[in-house]
Structure formats: C-alpha cells, structure tokens
Amino acid sequence: MVEKDLERLLDALPLEDGMRISFHHHLRNGDDVLNPVLKAIMDRGYKHLHLKASALFPVHKQVVKALKSGCVTDITTNYVSGPVADHLSKEGLEGSLTMQTHGGRARSIIEGGSPIDIAFIAAPAVDESYNASGVEGKNPCGSLGYAIEDAQHAAVKVLVTDTLTTIEHVQIEGRHIDHVLKVDSIGDTSGIESGTLAISSDPIKLKIAREAMRLLKALDAIQEGVSFQSGAGGVSLAVTAMFNDYLKTHGLKASFYSGGITAGHVEALEEGLVGRLYDVQCFDKRAIASLKQNEAHIPISASDYANPSNASRVIGDLDIVLLGASEVDLDFNVNVTSDSYLNLIGGSGGHSDTAEDSRLTIVVAPLIKARTPLIQDRVQTITTPGAHVDCVVSERGIAVNPARRDLIRSLEKTSLPIMSIEEMQALAHHYTKRPAAVKKGDVIGIVESRSGGRLDTIHKKVV
C-alpha cells in the first residue's frame, strides 16, 4: 500500500537506535527527501544512527541538527559540502566519518561490508508495481545510478515520490521495494543545476582548459573510438566543448562518454560525435531530457559505472579522464576532500575510481587560488593516490608524473610548458610565498579506497 503520511510510514518501519539509513543525491541541492525524513526520525528520539548518503549538499542542513542532537553519530558518504561539511570540519562527530568513492560505495553495499538497514530512495515517478523512474514525474532527476545498489541490497527499501503514474523507463524494479511514501514534493529540480554548469568565462580557467586540450593533442590521445570522461566544473565543461570541436573538425567519433552527464555531452551524442553516453547521474535538465529520448544515452548503476569488483564496469574501458584538485602534492597525490586549511569541501565521488581505471588521468586546477598554492609538500588528505595521476595541468605549466616515462618521452619535442612538480610548486611560491604549516586537529574519520582499505585519515580543523 502506498503510504501518504510520513509518520505512519515510520510506524511501519523497523526503526531502532544505531541503525544504518541511506539516501541518494540525484536531486543534489534540490533534494527535499533527506531533511524531512531525518527530522521525523530525530523527533522520535532515535540515537546513534549511521547516515549513509551517497553525497551531502548545502541543502542538507537537518544533518547538522541531527549531529548536534546525537541522533546521527556516524556518516559514510562520497562527497560532502555546505553546512554539514563546515560542521564536521570544525566540530567533528561523535562516531566516525568515512569518505568512500562512488565505486567503493557500490562494492561495499553489494559485498555486505557496508550494510544498510533502511534505504530512503527519492524516486521522481513510481507506478503501482513500485517500479521507479528518474526521468518521469514532476521532478525528474534523470539517472538513478547511485540508488540502484541501495534499492537492491538494503534490508528495507522505501521509495519516496511525488508522482504516482504509469512509467515507461523503469530504472528501479518494484520487486525489490517494500514501501512507497507519497509526498507533495521530493524537491526542486532546478536545484540539480545550482552551483555548476556554466562554461567558465574566467580567463584562468579557460587557459587551463586550452592547455589541457593542447596536452591531449600533443599526446595524440584523441583517436577514433576514444572514450572520455569529464565532470561539471568550469574547466571540465570548457574542455568537453573543445573536445567535441576537435572530434568534429577531425572527422572522429568517440566510443563513449561516462560519468555525470551535461548538455555538452548530450550535444556530442546528438551530433553523432560519440556513440554512447553512460550516465550515472544527470547534471542538468538537458541531460535529463536526453535520457528519456536518446536510446544511446544509457543510465547505469554505480556498480556498473565504477565498482572495482565488477569486471564489466564502464570505466574499465575509459581512455581519458579529466579531474579537478584542491591540492596536489610532490608525489602527485590529489586532495578533493578538503582544502589546505582542513575545511571539508567535497570528496572523491568518482575521482579516485576513474583515476585508477583510466589510461590517462589529467588533473586540471589553477596554480594559485586566493593565495593558496595548488602544489603542497603533502596534501592534507589523500583522495586519490599519486600513482594513479598522470598529468597536472595549471594555467602556468604542466607537470607529468615521473612514473609515466612514456608520456614524458612523447612530450619531449613539444612546445608545451612541461615542468617538474617541484618546479611548478616553486613557480606558485614565487607569487604566494611558502605557506607556514597548518596545524591539524583530532582525527574525525578516514578516506576509504575504492577497494575498502584505509587510504588516509581526515583531521578536524584547529579553530
């Protein structure tokens, strides 16, 4: 039976202290499922919950209240920003913070290492057999990739929807589902786009994008049948547009683009520049619409995307990935989890998954951001080990991992500003001066590698 009252649904669920509850982040900053569900659970006085959200965004303010009240004591997530991140950086948490990767989360849920007691799954449209679609309904979010494992492996699975209808594009099968909650609204789709998705007009970012493109050309990396992934940051969007242009002018066709999908990826598909889009999450409305129309735009689960134990994962065939960084160190380790002052600002998401799998991993980032140099002696937190990072492209130079002798050799005769990572650091320090060491506070959690090991610790800020 479809429940229309959250309280009555909670009455029907096997809630207890200490249980592990999960949410997905496909509605991103427009999500209005996590906050009300968590609030209702908190109001019932439950304690010591372990929150397993695939990602936490600025909108998820209820989590701060739940942390303060002792309702939530542990968090496992792949990405955290906004007030929850600020709170964790400054105050820590009673239990522990575990930062996973997109592939690692899927793996741990499937293998049972990270069990979920109750999964609350925002579903834009649900039919009478409890099948769910992400592309139909009044608040479509596109792919439901990060919710698939939750829907299959949680002990109890609840769909939360604002649209009960017949559906054409089934992404979650009703046979897995135990309960459906009908609410007035699961959120605001316009929140999916907030904060990202404009091709940058910042000259520094455009310079970085052009340098990254020059590097790809110099390496002759863009061949017929190439596969490519880039995110939704300003530099990535600009490179995607340039990449598309390159394919067009050279009469080439890429085999697939993967990961988070944007309008730029969709245009390439519709112009015949790429064969397929493997979509684990949609970053804008154009992507959501395309998922509904284009057969070659394929929604995939987090496991099919990046689970290291899944031999047929999409990124196992990835040629090139473009990734961001808040810090890079002299060993090419990359941090996208915190900034240089121990403020949590994100997390791996698919960063370390794709870096490990892709044949060529290029990190793009400004050399100096508000006086803080990109290259540090040691990153505050390792998100992605340096062994999986091949090149770092900044507006003032390109550093190649010395382990990639093949790349260094093929770049020897180019006019690209190739330099060692140490030279790149010295260049940054010329403008910024060398930063004094930043004190680290207590350990509040760990970065977990995609295979489940401990990659690094996460420290609290010293306030």
Partner 1 sequence: MDIKDVVLEEEKQEIRRFLKRFHLTYEDDIDITLALYEDDALIATASSAANIIKSVAVHPAYQGRGYLNPLMSALIKRLHEKGVRHLFVYTLPEHVDLFKHLGFTSIVESMNMSFLERGGDIRATLVSMRDEYGVSRRAKGSVVINANPLTKGHLHLIDTALEDCGELLVFVVSEDRSFFPFEERFAIIEKALADREGVTVLPSGDYLISFATFPKYFSKQEKNIQKDHAVIDVLTFKQHYMDIFNINVRYVGEEPYSPMTKTYNATMKHYLGSKLRIIERKTLEATPISASTVRKLLKKNGVEAVRKYVPEATYRYLKSESGRRAVEALKSHDARH
Partner 2 sequence: MARSVVSGSLESSDCLITLTEAGETSVQVDTIVHEAFQRHLESLIRETLKQSGVKNIKVHCQDQGALDYTIKARLEAALARYEENDDG
List residues near partner 2 by CB under 8 A: 340-341, 368-372, 431-433, 435-439
Shortest Å distance, C-beta 195 to partner 1: 6
Q: Is the separation of the CB atoms in 391 and 218 below 8 Å? A: no
Q: Taking CB within 5 to 8 Å according to partner kind, which of partner 2, partner 1, none is near residue 255?
A: none
Q: Taking CB within 5 to 8 Å according to partner kind, which of partner 2, partner 1, none is near residue 194?
A: partner 1
Shortest Å distance, C-beta 343 to partner 2: 10
Among 36, 195, 417, 452, binds partner 1 (CB under 8 A): 195
Task: Name the nearest CA neighbour of 72 among 93, 55, 56, 92.
Answer: 93
Q: Closer CB to partner 1, residue 194 or residue 414?
A: 194
Q: Which stretch binds partner 1 (CB under 8 A): 11-19, 190-198, 331-339, 398-406?
A: 190-198
Q: Taking CB within 5 to 8 Å according to partner kind, which of partner 1, partner 2, none is near residue 341?
A: partner 2
Q: Is the separation of the CB atoms in 136 and 123 below 8 Å? A: no
How far is residue 219's CA from residue 409's CA, in Å, rounded to a whole number? Answer: 10
Q: Is the separation of the CB atoms in 325 and 345 below 8 Å? A: no
Q: Taking CB within 5 to 8 Å according to partner kind, which of partner 2, partner 1, none is near residue 433?
A: partner 2
Q: How many residues does the chain have?
A: 463
Assess 58 for contact with partner 1 (CB under 8 A): yes
In single-letter form, the type of residue at position 287 comes to A
Shortest Å distance, C-beta 345 to partner 2: 13
Distance of CA 387 to the CA centre of its chain: 20
Assess 82 for contact with partner 1 (CB under 8 A): yes
Assess 190 for contact with partner 1 (CB under 8 A): yes
How far is residue 235's CA from residue 249's CA, in Å, rounded to a whole number? Answer: 21
Q: Is the separation of the CB atoms in 262 and 233 below 8 Å? A: no
Q: Pairing between strand 72-77 and 97-99?
A: parallel
3-state secondary structure 278-311: EEEEECCHHHHHHHHHCCCEEECCHHHHHCCCCC
Assess 193 for contact with partner 1 (CB under 8 A): yes
Place of tokens 């698919």: 350
Assess 191 for contact with partner 1 (CB under 8 A): yes
Q: Closer CB to partner 2, residue 245 or residue 431?
A: 431
Q: Closer CB to partner 1, residue 191 or residue 350?
A: 191
Binding residues vs partner 1 (CB under 8 A): 58, 61, 64, 82-83, 86, 190-191, 193-195
